[in-house]
A and B are shown apart, each in its own frame.
Chain A
Amino acid sequence: MPPRSRSLSALALALSLTAVAGACGSNTTDTAATPSTGEGGATVDATPGKGSKAVGFIFVGPKDDFGYNQAAFQGSEAVKKAFPDFEVLTAENVPETDDAARVMEGMIDKGAKIIFATSYGHLDPAMKVAAAHPEVVVVQQGNLIKGTVPANAGTYFGTVYEPVYLAGIVAGKQTKSNKLGYVYAFPIPQTISNINAFELGAQSVNPGVQTYVVNTSAWCDPGKQAGAARSLLDQGVDVITQHQDCTGTITKAAEAAGAMVVGYHADASSLAPKGWIAGSEWSWADLYTDIVKTSLAGDFTGSKYNANFREGLKDGQNPFIESKFGPSVGADVKTLVDTAKTRISTSGSPFAGPVVGQDGKTIVAEGTVPDYATIESLMTVFVKGVVGELPKN
């Protein structure tokens, strides 16, 4: 036995020796090649993102999940189309850990000076990479940078809950049982705000309606999704929606049971031709392209993207848009949706006061219209009308 195993050691030793040798070599060349990282780095090259030949995108899941990651991937495809002589690097299934930093570094090695980290949990590794590479623009999708925003970083997101609120209106009008079902993954602010907006939208046209929630503790676990959908249907829920990364299982389960479906992330109406009533989906193309354009021009620092950038109906555009209505939705319901949309676009918000929590306490006072940042910080509790409980913090 010893001789064979020794040869393994020898092999690995040889590997690590070449590795170490390579490390020393590449170290020296690296420092020589990027003077901008030194303290005297006020050279042109140091302008974040300027002159990049490639752009990198990391996704937390597979890029064809019929949901969140697929939408982000389609955004990257739009960038590829807008900048044909650009290399668009994509990496899927990138964990939300320190390993993500390595994948982003690998993209930088391949010439990317603009990086999109597209999941909430990618924020910490993204900030680490941004700190190590002042010449690279690193933007993160959906989370918030606390404190000072570095000159080469930012976060961006749509106001997800606006179209969800509008879809809630449709659900509130279409339901016959007055019970709506919401399958979610984890109790994070982005999810809680969606659930609340959905219920508030439904309530705005149907005061007695309730939203039942079930979680799956996973962004995509079809086995658990099937059980969650089943339990909601057994409670007499006749409209189901979800906040999951992959959406096929729940959509098909609702359709098979004759329930109605409100989509999320992507247009899945083909999976539920009968039950589909409304939905929301991502349209990242314009925002991604504009971020890349701004960065390439060397204008990233100080731009609106060099912050926790949020946009919604009030700003005239929201990368999270309404999906098409289903065949059963009548003109009167569509009018209600249009009216609400106009209200939000001019001065309102789905969370315009009064908003009351499950425990009866006021979350947003009457007459107050909270801004985007305030809403994200308020979303730690469910509103009245949601059936289910959140873990306490």
Chain B
Amino acid sequence: MSLASEVLTGAVRGGTSILYAGVGESYAESAGVVNLGTEGSMLVGALAAYAVASETNNPWAGALAGLVAGGALALVHAYFVLHRKANQLANGLVVLFLGLGLTSLFGASYVSKPAKSFTPWRIPGLGSLPGVGDILFNHDPLTYLSFLMVPASWWLLTRSRWGLLLRAAGERTEVLASYGHSVRRIQYMAVVLGGTLAGLGGAQLAIAYANAWFENMVQGRGFVAVAVVIFAARQPFKVAAGSYLFGAALALSPALQARGYGINQFALDAIPYVTIVVVLVALGRRRAAEAPEGLKKVFEVSPST
């Protein structure tokens, strides 16, 4: 396989978990809530998916469990942020710690247990196309599901009435309230929905990509998802582009090494993060200006007490 097609295949394969989390975070941020606990939702999603897939021998049951667990942890964030007015950025990290602790407490016994996981399925016809066949049409079911999830989320967020309400909750709370809608209720839905998608992303990581559970296995993918959402301006298609970019950067290191290139391994390890920072710098200012009012409040003035 050529380097380019290997890296692009790896981009989709490794970027999908971030894509789920990023689209999820787009819902939350559209409604004006930032959730750094996305990392935690991915972690509990990964463990729940692995544990349930292991116990039931059914990866779909695992994916469902990942979804529920991710959403449940996001609910904790939503409650403290929306009801108790905790600082969003700080509370997100606290929620991550909760996820980290809970998964190490309940996950230890699953490290060595096998689980039934998703296997790649080559789509007949499309999968044999030269080039794109491997890159797009030889994946696990959760990756195919993400291909549908992106346009669906785009439509929901930008074209549907519900998306309009969601964005209004992040932008013009007063207007929304004056029309008799509960801003908080909409925000709750957005944050929890975001968490369920992050949980599904964790599930993809655990029972489709890596086929393993290990403590802290998400390794910052949730943080990357939040960063991607910033430069993607909460647009699902752009989130996909950003996630695949990170996935490609991740895939670059082993692909180069397996070809015998003598590049320092730690320089290669830093590439994905440096890439994200560089893209943020390149697109940052424009995106920041486009952010909804509610989000600006979080990102620009973070009250210190």
Residues of chain A at the chain B interface (Cβ within 8 Å): 1, 62, 64-66, 70, 93, 181, 187, 212-215, 217, 220-228, 230-232, 234-235, 237, 246, 248-249, 252-253, 256, 270-271, 387-389, 391
Residues of B within 8 Å of A252, CB to CB, are: 117, 211-212
Please name 5 pairs of A and B residues whose Cβ atoms are closer than 8 Å in the assembled complex, sorted by A. Answer: A65-B112, A223-B221, A235-B258, A246-B212, A253-B211
| Beta-carbon nearest neighbor of B211 in chain A | A252
Judging by beta carbons under 8 Å apart, are A222 and B217 in contact? yes
Please classify how large the interface on chain B is, using the bins under 10, 10 to 19, 20 to 34, 35 or more. 35 or more
A273 CB to nearest B CB, Å: 12
Judging by beta carbons under 8 Å apart, are B212 and A222 in contact? yes
Judging by beta carbons under 8 Å apart, are A214 and B111 in contact? no
In the assembled complex, B151 has its CB within 8 A of some CB on chain A = no
Residues of chain B at the chain A interface (Cβ within 8 Å): 1, 6, 10, 13-14, 104, 108-109, 111-112, 114, 117, 119-120, 205-206, 209-215, 217-219, 221, 250-251, 253-255, 257-266, 269, 305
With A215-B257, A231-B258, A270-B114 given, name 12 new contacts (CB 8 A): A62-B108, A93-B215, A217-B269, A220-B214, A221-B214, A222-B210, A223-B218, A223-B250, A224-B250, A225-B210, A249-B211, A388-B262
A371 to B111, CA, bound (A): 37
A302 to B253, CA, bound (A): 48
Judging by beta carbons under 8 Å apart, are B211 and A231 in contact? no
Known contacts A228-B254, A249-B212, A271 near B114 by CB under 8 Å: yes
Contact of B265 among A227, A230, A253, A391 (CB under 8 A): A391
| Beta-carbon nearest neighbor of B254 in chain A | A231
Residues of B within 8 Å of A93, CB to CB, are: 104, 215
Contact of B13 among A230, A389, A391 (CB under 8 A): A230
Known contacts A64-B109, A223-B210, A389 near B260 by CB under 8 Å: yes
| Beta-carbon nearest neighbor of A252 in chain B | B211
Judging by beta carbons under 8 Å apart, are B254 and A214 in contact? yes
Judging by beta carbons under 8 Å apart, are B119 and A231 in contact? no
A253 to B266, CA, bound (A): 24
A213 to B205, CA, bound (A): 24
Judging by beta carbons under 8 Å apart, are A217 and B211 in contact? no
| Beta-carbon nearest neighbor of B267 in chain A | A391
Q: Max chain A CB contacts within 10 Å: which of B260, B269, B305?
A: B260
Judging by beta carbons under 8 Å apart, are B10 and A66 in contact? no
Contact of A222 among B114, B214, B255 (CB under 8 A): B214
Judging by beta carbons under 8 Å apart, are A223 and B219 in contact? yes
A215 to B1, CA, bound (A): 20
Contact of B254 among A66, A70, A227 (CB under 8 A): A227
Residues of A within 8 Å of B104, CB to CB, are: 93
Residues of A within 8 Å of B14, CB to CB, are: 223, 226-227
Known contacts A222-B211, A230-B254, A391 near B219 by CB under 8 Å: no
| Beta-carbon nearest neighbor of B205 in chain A | A223
| Beta-carbon nearest neighbor of A255 in chain B | B211
A67 CB to nearest B CB, Å: 9
Residues of B within 8 Å of A270, CB to CB, are: 114
Q: Max chain B CB contacts within 10 Å: which of A213, A217, A224?
A: A224
| Beta-carbon nearest neighbor of B2 in chain A | A234
Residues of B within 8 Å of A181, CB to CB, are: 258
Q: Max chain B CB contacts within 10 Å: which of A62, A222, A253?
A: A222
A379 CB to nearest B CB, Å: 17
Residues of A within 8 Å of B214, CB to CB, are: 65, 220-222, 246
Residues of A within 8 Å of B119, CB to CB, are: 256
Judging by beta carbons under 8 Å apart, are A231 and B215 in contact? no
A232 to B1, CA, bound (A): 11
Judging by beta carbons under 8 Å apart, are A387 and B108 in contact? no
Residues of B within 8 Å of A64, CB to CB, are: 108-109, 111-112
Known contacts A222-B217, A389-B262, A1 near B305 by CB under 8 Å: yes
Judging by beta carbons under 8 Å apart, are A227 and B219 in contact? no
A252 to B209, CA, bound (A): 11
| Beta-carbon nearest neighbor of B251 in chain A | A227
Contact of A227 among B10, B218, B305 (CB under 8 A): B10
Known contacts A227-B251, A231-B6, A234-B6, A388 near B257 by CB under 8 Å: yes
Judging by beta carbons under 8 Å apart, are B258 and A215 in contact? no
A70 to B109, CA, bound (A): 12
